Amino acid sequence: MDEVINRSSTIARELKTGSGAEVGMQVLKESQSSGTVGDIYVDDPRMTCRNVNVYYGDKQAIFDIDLDIAKHQVISMIGPSGCGKSTFLRCLNRMNDTIDICKVTGQIKMEGQDIYDGGLDVVPLRASVGMVFQKPNPFPKSIYDNIGYGPRIHGLNDNKDHLDEIVETSLKKAGLWEEVKDRLDHPGTGLSGGQQQRLCIARAIAVSPEVILMDEPCSALDPIATAKIEELIDELRENYTIAIVTHAMQQAARVSQRTAYFHLGKLIEVGETDQIFTAPRHRLTEDYITGRFG
């Protein structure tokens, strides 16, 4: 905090003297009222979040978060347990709506459309912002029906052939097709943990989302399955925007281009992944990534 205060007083001084106004603007742009260090803005963002606050009953879980999410990029959200990174992620497709006591304020826009606008239906939103959860949660249905579930709900299955095609391409994109193509009618719950998680990713892809949110997608998986998922995330970046919450810092370093560090419900620092892990600018970020706490 001290750093921020110091910096803003420097800005004030510089503004007063009129010198270095450009530098001042630059710094001002970086450090908003929320006190986030680093560049929260990107050019041509997929989603923009402004002043996002989340309350569980009387308790505030997220404080004034401003963040842009860029297209065709992986942004990872790291931070100690309970720092609000999952809560923030769940705001992005309004999954928090399913929790009665949860209240979200502020503005989250997707392609200029406020997703918390009262008139907006969550059904198309969740179709365009898919989600993959911590624990693989395939439905107790066949592999085919697991993938077909979303398209059927959204009426994308005009005919059987089309649905077959969706199932096949989704499974191919998720790198699961070769492993399951002969047993599409087997229950999805019979697959291994890693396969189940890839099935869940394929299930999310099947409704052709623009953004995929992943809430610690590898925390229930072994290292080999994790490596496969990470590889997959990297491939998916070409077509989708991905926001991933992770506990493993190496994972964030491996798969993401931008990293956001959360601490006690605040967004402390955001920046290029390389920069965050090699030259963190905020002391808390540095403490966390060097393993001083977490």
Q: Which of residues 88-147 bind another protein (CB under 8 A)?
A: 93, 95, 98, 100, 122-127, 130-133, 135, 137-141
Closest distance of CB 251 from another protein, Å:
21
Q: Which of residues 186-215 bind another protein (CB under 8 A)?
A: 189, 200, 203-204, 207
Closest distance of CB 180 from another protein, Å:
18
Does 154 help bind another protein (rule: CB under 8 A)?
A: yes
List the structure tokens of 252: 């964030």
282-268-284-290 Cα dihedral, nearest 10 degrees: -90
Residue with tokens 């994790």: 226
Does 280 help bind another protein (rule: CB under 8 A)?
A: no
Closest distance of CB 122 from another protein, Å:
7
Does 153 help bind another protein (rule: CB under 8 A)?
A: yes
Nearer of residues 196 and 246 to another protein, judged by Cβ: 196
Nearer of residues 138 and 194 to another protein, judged by Cβ: 138
Q: Name the nearest CA neighbour of 103 among 112, 116, 89, 113.
A: 116
**Size of interface with another protein, in residues (CB under 8 A):** 29
Nearer of residues 141 and 283 to another protein, judged by Cβ: 141
Nearer of residues 77 and 276 to another protein, judged by Cβ: 77
Q: What angle do CA 19, 25, 28 make, to 5 degrees?
A: 125
Contact indicator for 241, 73 with CB cutoff of 8 Å: yes
Sheet with 74-78, strands from edge to edge, namely 129-132, 211-215, 241-245, 74-78, 258-263, 266-272
Does 282 help bind another protein (rule: CB under 8 A)?
A: no
Nearer of residues 77 and 125 to another protein, judged by Cβ: 125
Contact indicator for 250, 258 with CB cutoff of 8 Å: no
Q: Name the nearest CA neighbour of 211 among 174, 245, 244, 241.
A: 241
Contact indicator for 64, 55 with CB cutoff of 8 Å: no
Sorted by sequence, the CB contacts under 8 Å of residue 148 that are 6+ apart come out as 157, 163, 166, 167, 206
Q: Which of residues 219-238 bind another protein (CB under 8 A)?
A: none
Q: What does the binding site for another protein look like in residue numbers (CB under 8 A)?
A: 93, 95, 98, 100, 122-127, 130-133, 135, 137-141, 149-150, 153-154, 189, 200, 203-204, 207
